C-alpha cells in the first residue's frame, strides 16, 4: 500500500557530495516521521537520520553529524538527505524509512515502511 522510492545514489570520490531523495506514495505522510538508514556489505542496517512530522526537529547518528543534512519537502511526503564530505566508510545501500511512532523510535532502529534502497559508493 505504501511505497517509498529513493533516488540520487551513485559513485562519488571521497570529499564529494550527493543528495538523496525519497518520495512516498499511496497515502499522505504528514503524520509520520521520516528518515534514512544504511547498510554496508556484511554489516547490519544502521540508523542515519530522522526528521519530525513538522520538519522542525532532526537527529543524526554521530558519525554523520556536521556532514549530512536531512530535510522534509513542503508536501511532507518527501524527504531528502544532503551528504557532504563523503567518506569511503559511508559506502552503503541507503534506505528511506517512514515511521508512525516517535523520532526516538526510529533512531532506535525501528520503522514501519522501507524503500528499496539506493546504492552510494564513495571511492578513495
Q: Which residues in the chain land under pLDDT 70?
A: 28-30
Give the span between the Cα atoms of 101 and 119, in whole angstroms: 27
The pLDDT value given to residue 30: 63
The helix (run of H) or strand (run of E) holding residue 97 is strand 92-99
The pLDDT value given to residue 29: 61
C-alpha cell at 51: 526528521
End-to-end CA distance of the chain: 40
The pLDDT value given to residue 75: 76
The pLDDT value given to residue 28: 64
The pLDDT value given to residue 91: 98
Give the span between the Cα atoms of 102 and 60, in whole angstroms: 14
Give the span between the Cα atoms of 51 and 34, in whole angstroms: 6
Amino acid at each position: 500500500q505504501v511505497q517509498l522510492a529513493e533516488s540520487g545514489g551513485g559513485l562519488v570520490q571521497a570529499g564529494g557530495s550527493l543528495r538523496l531523495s525519497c518520495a512516498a506514495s499511496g497515502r499522505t505522510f504528514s503524520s509520520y516521521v521520516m528518515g534514512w538508514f544504511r547498510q554496508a556489505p556484511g554489516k547490519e542496517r544502521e540508523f542515519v537520520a530522522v526528521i519530525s512530522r513538522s520538519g522542525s526537529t532532526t537527529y543524526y547518528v554521530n558519525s554523520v553529524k556536521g556532514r549530512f543534512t536531512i530535510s522534509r519537502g513542503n508536501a511532507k511526503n518527501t524527504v531528502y538527505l544532503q551528504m557532504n564530505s563523503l567518506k569511503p566508510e559511508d559506502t552503503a545501500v541507503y534506505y528511506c524509512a517512514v515511521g508512525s511512532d516517535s523520532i526516538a523510535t526510529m533512531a532506535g532502529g525501528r520503522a514501519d515502511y522501507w524503500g528499496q534502497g539506493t546504492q552510494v559508493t564513495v571511492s578513495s
